[in-house]
Chain A
């Protein structure tokens, strides 16, 4: 296949309180050029770590196993200029724009720095491009914004600036880590619409991280569901909500009240989400799964193809049959 990004068997261990803890276990995921892939899961399931692995932004002392290939390059072995090239070609939009922009530099410095330093674009030219991209992300009055400091801008505006910065280097892949979670609801919708539209216009591939299955379905072609550092299911986003193959996906879908399905159908999954290093042998979801059987404890279910997608549940077939 002609994948832009291919992650296979990715396992990441991080040092925490003197011991190495597994935060990602055997994650496999691929993104084709121009494709949008969602990454959904509860807090601590390893979504951010997966994205950070792609641009080698893991905490110091991290141990990485498995392969990450970006346009054929082996990411974990990149050094120096080749690593900087990868990072120029993969942009990241973070959840909290205020923390991710140097507070004592102007918006203009932030937007043009990568262009000026890495691509040797003249300041005036870089600022011209920045104003054009700001306009595209819905920030009018670009020249004035360039001279402002981050604390003078609202969260929604700052997130647009962050998106503009991510687009300015003309990347091929966008990593968006909960880009709208920190914003209020109306701003969320606006920012999301802009992100989606600009991505499609430019044919950019995107890894979109969110807690929200329906939001992922709205903007992504395929969605991967993560639990305890593992991928539980990957399928066409449109199918995930109503035709989930994995009990965890079904629980996520049910936990979100939607218009047509009323409160009586709102089933919350009992128990708290586990991190990868806490997960039991066998299926990591077995401590909370309503369909658990002895088999689930005996072997760890691998991700396997089923029904046009992939699922990691030993009972997927029987459960899917009983759904219909």
Chain B
């Protein structure tokens, strides 16, 4: 525990507040539900029974049926897996690449730093969703193409923020003392720089999880991500549209609601974490639900 106290600064109390705690609980609950998924609903998410199309909730089917007579609860639960795993991959890939690029640029400096900054500016120009759709259009639709494209699109945001933080860390006296002890660059980066940037990395990962969730849902909504009949919240929002017109909005509303609740939770938690990471402000693409805050680090 002392390590955590030292990492967060011993004098700084935990400022998550009730909102942050709620967000953390929502996220944990969603993860638990998606892991337990099949155990909670006996129905087969892909078995359709046209006789029960749009049927109201009943015994064993607490949320009722969609337009193709599939159990909504089962589909929401199964869909939660793709809807959480997709962003998880995006975050893992873009964080890993962003961290490596940022630390290499900050440590080596000079020409490498200039080249990296220029390359990041080029990728910056592409909005993630457009890039993902472009990739899907060229290589065929599917979750992995969308995940890869989004990961690439997110790297500049992550690398930029981490680069300036890594640069500040690299200039600290303790890093120089380690150099004088004869430690190599790789050892210092792996054993000190990365661990000391973990609070910031965690905060960014949480924020970008929310972005990735929305972006992947949008891609799936347009039919370029997860392919029906596989369950996914984005696919379900799209699939439920005809039901909305016929007066059965449950599928779209439930799937859309899940997305909104989780994205808000990830944003709240990400903000709390980044406030506690010692970096003023956060840095990411502005979104309609969260206008860009001034004073990025």
Contact of A55 with B180 in the complex, beta carbons under 8 Å: yes
Given contacts A117-B187, A151-B6, A57 and B179 within 8 Å (CB-CB): yes
- Give bound CA distance, A85 to B184, whole Å: 10
Determine whether the beta carbon of B180 is less than 8 Å from that of A149. Answer: no
Q: Are the C-beta atoms of A87 and B196 separated by less than 8 Å?
A: no
CB-defined contacts of A101 to chain B, threshold 8 Å = 174, 177
CA distance A29 to B244 in the complex (A): 86
Beta-carbon contacts under 8 Å, A98-128 to B: 99-105, 113-114, 117-118
* A residues in contact with B181, CB < 8 Å: 87-88, 91, 113-114, 165, 169
- Among residues of A, the one whose C-beta sits closest to the C-beta of B4 is A104
Q: Which residues of B contact A102 (CB under 8 A)?
A: 174, 178, 192, 196
Q: Chain A: which residue is nearest B184 at the CB level?
A: A84
Please tell me if A18 contacts chain B, counting CB pairs below 8 Å. Answer: no
Contact with A along B172-192 (1 / 0, CB 8 A): 111011111111100100011
Least CB distance, A162 to chain B, in whole angstroms: 8
Any chain A CB within 8 A of the CB of B286?
A: no
Contact of B180 with A92 in the complex, beta carbons under 8 Å: yes
- Whether the pair B180, A57 counts as a contact (CB closer than 8 A) is yes
Q: Does A96 contact B (CB under 8 A)?
A: yes
Q: Which of A55, A94, A104 contacts B196 (CB 8 A)?
A: A104
CB nearest to B169 among chain A residues: A102
A-contacting residues, B1-24, CB 8 Å = 2-3, 6-7, 10
Q: In whole angstroms, how far apart are the Cα atoms of A163 and B173 in the complex?
A: 16
Contacts of A99 in B (CB 8 A): 172-174
Nearest-neighbor residue (CB-CB) of B198 within chain A? A104
Chain B min CB distance to A316 (Å): 36
1/0 per position for B103-119, CB-CB distance to A under 8 A?
Answer: 00000011000000000
Contact check, B174 vs A100: say whether CB atoms are below 8 A apart. Answer: yes
B140 at interface by CB-CB < 8 Å? no
Whether A60 sits at the interface, judged by CB under 8 Å, is yes
Q: With A94-B177, A99-B174, A151-B6 given, is the CB distance from A88 to B196 under 8 Å?
A: no
B174 touches A149 (CB 8 A): no
User: In the complex, are the beta carbons of A113 and B173 less than 8 A apart?
Assistant: no
Q: Kindly state whether residue B285 has any CB partner on chain A within 8 Å.
A: no
Smallest Cβ distance from A203 to chain B, in angstroms? Answer: 21
Asked whether B195 is an interface residue with its Cβ less than 8 Å from the other chain, the reply is yes
Chain A CB within 10 A, most for which of B6, B182, B184:
B182
A116: min CB distance to chain B, Å? 10
Q: Once A and B bind, how many residue pairs between them come within 8 Å at the CB atom?
A: 68
Selected contact of B182 from candidates A84, A96, A103, CB within 8 Å: A84
B146-186 interface (Cβ within 8 A of A): 172-174, 176-184
Question: Shortest distance in angstroms between B127's beta carbon and chain A's nearest beta carbon?
Answer: 35
Number of interface residues of B (CB under 8 A): 24
CA distance A55 to B180 in the complex (A): 7
The CA of A113 and the CA of B179, in the complex, are separated in Å by 12
A118 → chain B closest CB, angstroms: 5
- Residue from B7, B177, B191 having most chain A Cβ neighbours under 10 A: B177
In the complex, A104 Cα to B10 Cα: how many Å? 11
Contact status A118-B183, CB under 8 Å? yes
Closest B-chain residue to A99, C-beta based?
B173
CB contacts under 8 Å to B, within A71-95, are 84-88, 90-92, 94
**CB–CB A104/B7 < 8 A:** yes
| Pair A104/B195 contact, Cβ less than 8 Å | yes
Known contacts: A99-B172, A100-B174, A102-B174. The answer to whether A149 contacts B182 by CB under 8 A is: no
**Bound form: Cα–Cα A153–B17 in Å:** 32
| Least Cβ–Cβ distance between B103 and chain A, in angstroms | 16
Q: In the complex, A114→B178 CA distance in Å?
A: 8
**Is B6 within 8 A of A103, CB to CB?**
yes
Are the C-beta atoms of B6 and A169 separated by less than 8 Å?
no
CA of A94 to CA of B179 in the docked complex: distance in angstroms? 13
- Tell me how far the C-beta of B28 lies from the nearest C-beta in chain A, rounded to whole angstroms: 26
Q: How far is the CB of A161 from chain B (nearest CB, A)?
A: 12
B191 and A113 form a contact (CB under 8 A)? yes
Instruction: Tell me, in angstroms, the Cα distance from A114 to B184 when the chains sit together.
Output: 10
Q: How far is the CA of A272 from the CA of B70 in the complex (A)?
A: 86
Of residues 94 through 142 on chain B, the ones whose CB sits less than 8 Å from some CB of chain A are 109-110
- Asked if B184 and A57 sit within 8 Å, CB to CB, the answer is no
Residues of A contacting B173 in the complex (Cβ-Cβ under 8 angstroms): 94, 96, 99-100
Tell me, in angstroms, the Cα distance from A92 to B180 when the chains sit together.
Answer: 7
Contact A114 B183 (CB under 8 A): yes
Contact of A118 among B2, B109, B110, B182 (CB under 8 A): B182
User: CA A105 – CA B194 in complex, angstroms?
Assistant: 13
| CB-CB nearest 4 A-B residue pairs | A88-B182, A87-B182, A100-B177, A99-B173
25 chain-A/chain-B pairs, Cβ below 8 angstroms = A57-B179, A60-B109, A85-B182, A87-B179, A87-B180, A87-B182, A88-B181, A90-B180, A94-B177, A96-B173, A100-B173, A101-B177, A102-B192, A102-B196, A103-B6, A104-B195, A113-B181, A113-B183, A114-B182, A117-B184, A118-B182, A118-B183, A149-B2, A151-B6, A152-B2
Residues of A whose CB lies within 8 Å of any CB of B are 55, 57, 60, 84-88, 90-92, 94, 96, 99-105, 113-114, 117-118, 149, 151-152, 165, 169
> Beyond A103-B6, A118-B183: 10 further Cβ-contacts under 8 Å?
A57-B180, A60-B110, A87-B182, A100-B173, A102-B174, A104-B196, A114-B181, A117-B183, A117-B191, A118-B182
